[in-house]
Amino acid sequence: MTRFYRLVRAIVVRFIFTLLYPLKIVGKENIPLEGAVILCANHISMLDPLALILACPRQIRFMAKEELFANKLVGWVLKNMGAFSIKRGESDLASVRLALQILKEDNVFGIFPEGHREKGTEAKAIHSGTSMIALRSGAVTVPVYISGKWRLFRRTTVYIRKPVALDEYKPANVRNMELANVKIADAIWQD
């Protein structure tokens, strides 16, 4: 974990979730303390990455939309937190390769597989890149469900699910990626 990441996690993130948006974390033990891990979470608010940062005992390398990096300050913070950009709406193979490299180095990779913020509690379609990265990397895939509406002074709960087994969907062909996506989505939005 970099010094900057630790500092942001200890001061900014804890302040937000201690005073403004109380957070309950369920299932923290489901995140392996070592090895390659993919955290796949639903995305309801701009606060979601911060909640995952607090929930995970390891540094998370997030894939974030390219537009966020256009603002110099935000881009600087994101880069120093270990995030990298993806061009939404197109096949961004460079970002996929970077995600695979991050996992090859036994790091934690964070992704919001819907590709954008989405309200509601029903399972949503997720992008095929999620399962492709999971299948090609062999990383432990941990679904995460963020419940609530992020209202000031109201508790939101982060449910860290048990890892999903995806070995049955190898090799990473189109059909297997579709099936793996369904399994990941179902695990995120399970009751």
pLDDT value at position 175?
92
For residue 60, what pLDDT band results from cuts at 50, 70 and 90? very high
Give 94-103 pLDDT, tens digit per residue.
899 999 999 9
Tell me what pLDDT residue 115 has.
57
Average pLDDT over residues 35-59: 93
Contact 137, 100 (CB under 8 A): yes
Query: With a threshold of 0.85, does the pTM exceed it?
Result: yes
Q: What domains are there in the chain, each with its CATH number?
A: 3-65+92-188 (3.40.1130.10)
CA atoms of 187 and 9, how far apart (whole Å): 27
pLDDT for 117 beyond 60: no
Distance CA 87, CA 127 (A): 13
Q: Which residues pair with 108 in a beta bridge?
A: 37, 60
Which residues make Cβ contacts (< 8 Å) with residue 50, sequence separation at least 6? 12, 13, 16, 17
pLDDT tens readout for residues 10-34: 888 888 888 898 999 999 999 999 9
